[in-house]
Amino acid sequence: MNETLEQAQRRKTEHLRIALRDPSVQRPGRDNGLSTLDLEMLSLPELDLDAVDTRCHLLGKALNAPLLVGAMTGGTAHAGEVNRILAEAAERTGVGFCLGSQRPMLIGDPTATRSFQLREVAPTTLICGNIGAIQLRDRLDGLRLAHLGREVGADAMYVHVNALQEAIQPEGDRDWRGVFDAIAESASDCELPVLVKEVGAGLGEQTLRALALTGVAGVEVAGVGGTSWARIEALRHAVRTPRAIAGAVLAGFGTPTAESVQLARRAFPGRIVIASGGIRDGLEAAKCIALGADAVALAYPFLQAAQSHGDRNEAVRAVITEIEGVIETLRITMFLVGAPTLSHLGNTPLVARP
């Protein structure tokens, strides 16, 4: 569907408003699967906490911790300001940053494009671009996908798959034929690494097996248990409609984060697996790394922090505090489970505590 810039901007503004104001869009009747998994705490860790090393390399960039600010926004002047706050906080803490869907850039408006250009505030850190799988099929190929990434100085491109969200969205795309082939072709033709992500319904076993046959560099699972896009889209229907009813019922449909991470690790040995979907703290991040993830992404918590202050500098500081809180919790957890490095944490068994 070719839409106008105004339509795309209105949708993005509504998404931000509903995501922030309506708590019912979080953990919609289903947990992310991490609460019943535990790491065994050692009372005699035999480690120096200050020597615990959370650093890693991801997509060619050195990070202070295996953490990304998840894909959220861009396209309007306000969204650009939110992006600048988040990206500056990511740069100052040495974590990665993911842009929201760059679909507004395809319409060709310079303000929309500027809202995604963040290298001025984040010159060195990992930046991942983002486009929807439907836009990839309808309007791009591998070369144009790389161009979209280069225009914003991205190190890699995410393609998001959001069939459930689109099915509930009032103006959503309902025809998903040919999307897999478009991903497979552009993953082999794009000169930037291409990763596929869900948006909160998780990647299941059959999807992961199919994606593993392509040249994608990795996946971000965005599992069930965090922000629910079926729920957000259901709330955008002005009155009770059949699609809004479906959105409420299917709000927690899909694969929970903990399960999706394990399936992804099995399907993608040697490739990148990023855990996301309702991860809210450094303990959950540590559990995901123990389950096989290379890194974790949190979206909603950092958006909340970015929007918590009217003053820009205070907003940046608030996001930095949240990011550092996740890293510090991860570091202390690693210390307490006897894992001096992330690869040790990756080999630490989890205990099921139903």
Ligand X SMILES: Cc1cc2nc3c(=O)[nH]c(=O)nc-3n(C[C@H](O)[C@H](O)[C@H](O)COP(=O)(O)O)c2cc1C
The binding site for ligand X (CB under 6 A) comprises: 15-16, 19, 70-73, 100-101, 130, 158, 160, 197, 199-200, 222, 226-227, 276-279, 298-300, 303
CB of 283: closest distance to ligand X in angstroms?
15
Asked if residues 127 and 150 have their Cβ atoms less than 8 Å apart, the reply is no
CB of 230 to ligand X, least distance (A): 12
Nearest to ligand X of 98, 146 (CB atom): 98
Tell the burial category of 352 from Cβ atoms under 10 Å away from its Cβ (0-12, 13-18, 19+): exposed
Query: Quick one: how far is CA 324 from the chain centroid?
Result: 18
Helix, strand counts (H, E) of the chain? 16, 12
Query: Which single residue is written with the structure tokens 């960039």?
Result: 61
**Closest CB 53 distance from ligand X, rounded Å:** 25
Q: Residue 196 or residue 336: which is nearer to ligand X going by CB?
A: 196
Nearest CA among 345, 320, 319 for reference residue 331: 345
Residue closer to ligand X by CB (options 47, 176) is: 176
- Element holding 15 (H helix, E strand): helix 5-21
Q: Shortest approach of ligand X to residue 341 CB, angstroms?
A: 25
Q: How far is CA 265 from CA 165, 254, 286, in A?
A: 25, 18, 15
Residue number closest to ligand X, CB atom: 226
Nearest-approach distance from CB 68 to ligand X, in angstroms: 9
- Residue nearer to ligand X on the CB measure, 161 or 336: 161
Q: Which is nearer to ligand X, 226 or 254 (CB)?
A: 226
Cα(54)–Cα(331) distance, integer angstroms: 7
Closest by Cα among 231, 199, 225, 167 to 22: 231
Which residue is associated with the tokens 């009747």?
29
Amino acid letter, 138: D
Report d(CA 198, CA 219) in Å as an integer. Answer: 9
How near is the Cβ of 205 to ligand X at its closest, in Å? 19
- Of 275 and 337, the one with the shorter C-beta distance to ligand X is 275
Q: Considering beta carbons, is residue 131 or 339 the nearer one to ligand X?
A: 131
CB of 340 to ligand X, least distance (A): 28
Check if the beta carbon of residue 304 is closer than 8 Å to that of residue 323.
no
Q: Judged by CB, which is closer to ligand X: 37, or 47?
A: 37
Instruction: Tell me whether residue 17 or residue 240 sits nearer to ligand X (CB atom).
Output: 17
Which positions ≥6 away from 326 have C-beta within 8 Å?
Answer: 65, 67, 281, 282, 285, 298
Please state the closest distance from residue 209 (CB atom) to ligand X, in A: 21
Q: Are 289 and 337 in contact (CB under 8 A)?
A: no
Q: Would you say how long the chain is, in residues?
A: 354
User: Please, where are the H alpha helices in 27-109?
Assistant: 77-93, 103-107
Output the smallest distance, CB 193 to ligand X, in A. 16
Residue nearer to ligand X on the CB measure, 27 or 243: 27
In angstroms, what is the minimal distance from the CB of 45 to ligand X? 29
- Which of 281, 333, 350, 282 lies closest to 47, judged by CA? 333
